[in-house]
Chains A and B, each alone.
Chain A
């Protein structure tokens, strides 16, 4: 079968997104279901059929989402309403929209810093925590324990006080 010529294919837009909190390990399928559910809630089945969302790539805290041209604002709104995936609190933040994958991948190369996240034990508000440091002066605290681990988002300045 001959492939359809480019001029007869539907135009697409690609959206680069960042997934927070750092260290989140999501696969493309989970992300797709979360986005699809969120978009269906807002725009309905007919709307999602027109938007045609799909996850092109996903990993290391970033993902690329594909949609039809002129539906990118709807997808960004849908991404902004995703609050939980697998009962974990997440934020999916759109960074850049482009008509080609290549430009997004070039931008993505500048964003990935490949930093490791050093951990150490700290005491905050008279309770023991494990602190994880991220880029800049960001520090996340994980409560020590087996169940219902609380997570706090602080800065180095907060810990030094």
Chain B
């Protein structure tokens, strides 16, 4: 299984270069990282997957970003929004990963969207940086939200990805740390390891069998 940190922010968004982050990721037990706003490459055996982060309020903005020519294919990661936005983005298959669900209202990702995400194999990203940066009420809200997502995932089996959301190598977490942090909201070891391997599964997704003749 290829373990991936599903979102990091190298220089100039953070204080660490992409290569240093890749180097650190290898020491922390990862095989690849998804880096925001860079082209895909390989550095010292670590696969760097380019990620396109899309913050949009309306679906046509998402479409506009995806239509733009990019030099290399990258992983489209869309920030979650309201119910209709999430539903449209997942239904149309524009996003491969939906992130920042903790910032949206609780009803913006329900059992119907969960089933849709499972059918379309759109992953829900669990950003662990918010658990570290937030304290008190805000952290409790995020833990509650993630626990709710874990219960929905147990029922509908849509994929999770786990990201450190690191802007510095000091914010990157090892696999061991990520598993322990996932335990705080009820995602067990097997679930966390499976989630860490989901990015490669999403990218190299097997298409359904088609009858061609």
A contact residues vs B (CB 8 Å cutoff): 20-21, 41-42, 73-74, 76-77, 79-81, 83, 89-91, 93-94, 136-138, 150-155, 157-158
* B-side contacts of A138, CB under 8 Å: 20, 23
Per-position contact with A for B169-181: 1 when CB-CB < 8 Å, else 0?
Answer: 1111110111011
* B-side contacts of A91, CB under 8 Å: 169-172
Asked if B72 CB lies within 8 Å of chain A CBs, one says: no
Q: List 8 A-B contacts (CB under 8 A).
A: A20-B169, A41-B135, A89-B170, A91-B170, A94-B176, A153-B169, A154-B16, A158-B20
Q: What separation, in Å, do the CA atoms of A150 and B15 have in the docked complex? A: 9
Q: What separation, in Å, do the CA atoms of A76 and B184 have in the docked complex? A: 11
Task: Across the interface, name the chain A residue whose C-beta is closest to B172.
Answer: A91
- A21 and B170: CB pair below 8 A? yes
Majority-rule SS of A interface residues: mixed
Within 8 A of A (CB), among B126-182: 128, 131-133, 135-136, 139, 168-174, 176-178, 180-181
* A-side contacts of B20, CB under 8 Å: 138, 153-155, 158
Q: What separation, in Å, do the CA atoms of A41 and B178 have in the docked complex? A: 18
Residue in contact with A80 in the complex, picked from B16, B169, B173, CB distance below 8 Å: B173
- A93 and B15: CB pair below 8 A? no
How many residues of B are in contact with the other chain, CB < 8 A?
30
Q: What separation, in Å, do the CA atoms of A91 and B132 have in the docked complex? A: 11
* A-side contacts of B11, CB under 8 Å: 152
- B170 and A20: CB pair below 8 A? yes
Those 3 A-B pairs whose CB atoms lie nearest each other, nearest first: A76-B180, A153-B16, A80-B177
B212–chain A nearest beta-carbon distance, Å: 46
Residue in contact with B23 in the complex, picked from A21, A42, A93, A136, CB distance below 8 Å: A136
Task: Across the interface, name the chain B residue whose C-beta is closest to A21.
Answer: B170
* B-side contacts of A154, CB under 8 Å: 16-17, 19-20
B43–chain A nearest beta-carbon distance, Å: 8
Q: What separation, in Å, do the CA atoms of A137 and B24 have in the docked complex? A: 11
- A157 and B19: CB pair below 8 A? yes
A138–chain B nearest beta-carbon distance, Å: 7
